[in-house]
Chains A and B, each alone.
Chain A
Amino acid sequence: MSTILTRLASWLWLLIPANPILVRVVNSMSQRNRHLYLRFCYLAILATVVTVLLLSSGSAAGLSLSVLAKRASQTFMWASITQLALMCFLSPVFTAGAITQEKDAQTYNILISTPLSNAQIVIGSLLSRLYFVIVLLLAGLPVFLTTMVYGGVTTGQIIRSFAIAGSTAAITGSLAITVSMIRVGTRRTIFSFFLGIAAYLLLVYALAQMDATWVSEAPANPGRTQRLSWLAPFHPFLALDVALNRIKAPDITAVASYGPIGKYLAAYPAGTYILTTLSCSVLLTMLSMFFVRRCTKLGEQSLLGRLKPAFRKRNNQRKTRKPHQVWANPVAWREAVTRASATSRGMGRYLVIGCGLIGALWLLVYYLKGWAGFNPSETRTWLAVIIAIEFALVLIIATNTAASSLTKEKESKTMDLLLATPLSSSYLIWGKLRGLVSFVLPLIAVPVISLLIFGITDEIRRPAERAVYWETGMEIGSLMIIFSAYACMLGLHFSLKQRRTVKAVLLAVAVLIGANTAIFLFWNMIVEGASVLGPALAAATPFTSIQYMIDPSSIVESQAAYLQKIGSLRLSAFIGSAIFITLHAIVVFSWYKAMVRSFDMIIRKQSGL
């Protein structure tokens, strides 16, 4: 018996505390300044949210304990949401590196030729990635504890909030590890991983707003029309809403008819979310252990290849194709044509274009037929939402492609070949920018065409109230081009400064999302109170322009006022878009000139033996 226990203890010791992979990663990465800054930023954001919310509610003097408790509860709620949002962003950032790390370092084959067990390799990789996320979570604990001082926040709530954030990190980490074990990850895999997570979070959250997904027995929530969705046990934010009592779950007796699993999903969505994600993490980890020495790595057949040999064979044999016509500016041609024609990227583009056009046509049919209460106002709202999603995708694709543009040249060492040609840095960057904007133009065409379809349809029908006017498509289209150029410049900026594609893409996309969110929240407040000037001011930022230029009715007092002021609102939108297109073009051009000036210095600094 003692021998078994000793062996078990030794196995556990080697599995976690003495796991060489874990020890190496924790030791080497803990010393990196980058992680220190990240921890600092994470804590700073949390502390700012808590401090601002506590202070903004005024002096605590003379207030009753129940009011103070309510304030603390509100603060805790927003801190928890912020924490989860940060976790949803940071977990993929920390864990996605696992997808390409072995390929980058070319250490995978060496690793699997050592006597390390499958469990050691998988658990070591997983925990080494999760370590930083767990450290972040724990570092934030004192900030949360401060909300307990006023009462209103229980230890149980804090535990539940942390458990949801922790289990989200665990599922993200195990998913990344599984991907890394099943196939040799590339930069594209990482991007797909991020996009997949973002799409899942957005899509499930959007579906949960539809009453078809609601649990009919769920009680109503004060101040909100939304009720508990069946999707809550599968989405971190929906589960957190329940944990924070923003959304009420029904009593278990009320949902007993749904069977043994259904009733727990409906009655305890937060608990089942934690349980489901942790169980999935364990399953994925076990799956990784199975695949770690069995499945595909460099030069071996992939899992998909084994399952679909005919498909794979045809794909592998694609070693020739008819040449395209090269443009006079070869750099622009390279960005716009050959990168876009790469199979998966091309398919992705067609998918976005196809889905966008189908969505617009679906909306048009609903609008024309007046189904589901689709009046012009409702149509505008939906159109703005769809176009905002499409443009968010355009911006992410543009930033991602631009961020990988120069780093890919550095990694594949084609940068040296280009630098040895007579192409100047201005020509090179201009070519990249022109090519990247050309690359996203077909994507921008989708929202523009959607708006034009509605505009022209209403122009022909001439109803009393129109959904959108035809010129909105042109204004939004022109603004989208300039905002895409911004996104491309942002991507190029990081692509120039960084040596590695993954880092450049992560930083660029993070800045894009962060900056757009902050700008939208700030500018939205200004535009909301600007009345007729609203559409003009809205043109300053990407998402306010989509929201208020497509649907300006939300900035005027009433529907009647909207119909009365529609002429002024249209003129305001036209003038605003003309002014801001010019201003943004000047900024983009200045950014381009600054980049040209620093290009040679940065590239030569990075160059070397």
Chain B
Amino acid sequence: MIIETINLTKRYDDLIALDNLELNIEDGECFGYIGPNGAGKTTTIKILATLLQPTWGEARVCGHVVGYESRKIRPLIGYVPDFFGAYEDMVVQEYLEFFASAYNITGKERTRVVGDVLELTDLVYKQDALVDGLSRGMQQRLSVARVLLHDPKVLLLDEPASGLDPRARIEIRELLKELRRMGKTIIISSHILHELAELCTTVGIIEKGKLLFHGPLEDIIRRARVASKLHVKVTEQQDLAALLLEKLPEVKNVTQENSQLTVELTGQTHDFSAIANALLKNNFKIRELREEEVNLETAFMRLTKGIVS
């Protein structure tokens, strides 16, 4: 277990930012951390980055306890905050060399590492540019470059795609996919859920400091599918088709929306032959019959609204 939190609690006076958080992340995992604003994502990441001390409980990174062994943790992590910390009058290469020195990478090794990272993040042509004059996308790419300097085991990325235009988002996503292929453990918090779905192997949903769900992406989608829903389109006599389907024992409810019937089934099944047979027997011509798609966004909405637990 590369990241482990046990009853992790953080209080800011009366506000409970984290409430007995139990989180386990395996080596090489790409963990998507989702939650509404103020749910406790940044607090968790800041604790793991050794920037905050837990009020109660314990957080371990690579087996080291945050707060007690923070010095051992820092060389093992790379932290990208939800803002870009720009130094005035510093150019890209200096910025990277500055942080490389902070990680005790010196001499020729530093020059080599900075060169490699600039190449990996495609920032070579920007090495003489002042960092505070870079675009948001470039700054974010530079942030990622910064955390790669010391080749950390764990990357803690807090909203890396926020405020980026679509092209910059895609570029960052591709860069993160490359890092995942390199075997890095990545913890990434984001509001752009479909991107997380593409990138992450496991997901955690947090709300009001409590972890509502934690597990593989497929699990959350399976869990969010409370009951099967079908979308049915018939060529004519939609009202009669609705009346027919309502009488079937497998059907719980039928609603009509425009030219489509939404059929809610009583149980979870992927066998819709009974529905199709009933319609065909009564001479309805089926134009479309498909199961409702459950994605990460739907799952997130259902879990955070308490529709599923």
Contact = CB atoms under 8 A, between A and B. Distances in A.
Interface residues of B, number: 43
A415 B102 CA distance: 13
Contact of A326 (B38, B81, B97): B97
A223 interface: no
Given A319-B129, A420-B74, A609-B43, A341 B102 contact: no
B3 interface: no
B16 to A, nearest CB: 12
Given A328-B106, A412-B86, A422-B75, A319 B133 contact: yes
B103 A609 contact: no
Interface string A402-432: 0000001000111111111111100000000
Given A421-B103, A607-B52, A416 B81 contact: yes
A338 to B, nearest CB: 5
Interface string A585-609: 0000000000000000000100111
Interface string A272-312: 00000000000000000000000000000000000000000
Interface in A303-352: 318-324, 326-331, 333-334, 338-339, 341-343
A326 B101 contact: yes
Interface stretch (B23-31, B87-95, B226-234): B87-95
B79 interface: yes
A330 B98 contact: yes
Contacts of B90: 334, 338
B133 A329 contact: no
Given A323-B128, A609-B17, A604 B52 contact: yes
A471 to B, nearest CB: 38
A422 B102 contact: yes
Contacts of A328: 101, 106
Nearest to A418: B102
Given A320-B128, A420-B79, A342 B12 contact: no
A609 B46 CA distance: 10
Interface in B70-129: 71, 74-75, 77, 79, 81, 83, 85-91, 93-94, 97-104, 106, 110, 127-129
A598 to B, nearest CB: 15
A342 B89 contact: yes
Contacts of B85: 412-417
B62 interface: no
A334 B87 contact: yes
B49 to A, nearest CB: 5
Contacts of A419: 50-51
Contacts of A319: 129-130, 133
B20 interface: no
B53 interface: yes
A319 B132 CA distance: 9
B253 interface: no
A474 B133 CA distance: 43
Contacts of B50: 419-420
B304 interface: no
Interface string A187-203: 00000000000000000
Given A323-B91, A417-B81, A422-B75, A330 B99 contact: yes
A130 B120 CA distance: 56
A321 B128 contact: yes
What is the predominant secondary structure among interface residues of chain A facing chain B?
Answer: loop
Contacts of A424: 71
Given A338-B90, A416-B51, A607-B52, A323 B98 contact: no
B39 to A, nearest CB: 11
Nearest to A324: B94
B71 A422 contact: yes
A421 B74 contact: yes
Contacts of B42: 609
A21 to B, nearest CB: 30
Contacts of B81: 413, 416-417
A184 to B, nearest CB: 15
B85 to A, nearest CB: 4
Nearest to B102: A421
B51 A420 contact: yes
Nearest to B78: A420
A339 B89 contact: yes
A358 B17 CA distance: 61
Contacts of A318: 130
A537 to B, nearest CB: 43
A323 B110 CA distance: 14
A452 B227 CA distance: 90
A267 B291 CA distance: 98
Nearest to B88: A342
Contacts of B83: 413
B139 to A, nearest CB: 12
Nearest to A345: B89
B114 to A, nearest CB: 10
Nearest to A340: B89
Contacts of B100: 326
A332 to B, nearest CB: 10
Given A319-B130, A328-B106, A417-B79, A412 B97 contact: no
Q: Name the residue among A326, A331, A424 with the largest chain B CB count within 10 angstroms.
A: A326
B187 to A, nearest CB: 14
Contacts of B17: 609
Contacts of B98: 326, 330, 333-334
A327 B129 CA distance: 20
Contact of B128 (A322, A417, A609): A322
B94 A609 contact: no
A501 to B, nearest CB: 12
B103 A320 contact: no
A339 B85 CA distance: 16
A321 B92 CA distance: 10
Interface in B3-55: 12, 17, 38, 42-43, 46, 49-53
Contacts of B104: 422
A19 B70 CA distance: 53
Given A326-B94, A609-B12, A423 B89 contact: no
B51 A421 contact: no
Nearest to A408: B88
Choose among B100, B128, B146 the residue with the greatest number of A CB atoms under 10 Å from its CB. B128
B87 A412 contact: yes
Contacts of A418: 102
Given A334-B87, A412-B86, A422 B103 contact: yes
B94 A422 contact: no
Contacts of A341: 89
Given A338-B94, A420-B49, A607-B52, A330 B89 contact: no
A318 to B, nearest CB: 8
A589 B38 CA distance: 42
Nearest to B53: A604
Contacts of A416: 46, 49, 51, 79, 81, 85
A54 B79 CA distance: 64
Nearest to B76: A422
Best-surrounded residue of A330, A417, A424 (most CB of chain B within 10 A) = A417
Given A323-B128, A330-B99, A422-B102, A608 B49 contact: no
A19 B49 CA distance: 48
A598 B90 CA distance: 29
A324 B97 CA distance: 10
Nearest to B50: A420
A338 B87 contact: yes
A342 B130 CA distance: 12
Contacts of B88: 338-339, 342, 408, 412
A413 B158 CA distance: 14
A328 B110 CA distance: 10
6 contacts: A334-B87, A338-B88, A342-B88, A417-B99, A417-B146, A420-B50
Ranked nearest first, the 4 interchain pairs of A and B with the lowest CB-CB distance are A414-B85, A330-B101, A326-B97, A421-B102
Given A320-B128, A321-B91, A416-B79, 8 more contacts: A319-B129, A326-B97, A326-B101, A330-B99, A412-B88, A413-B83, A416-B81, A609-B38
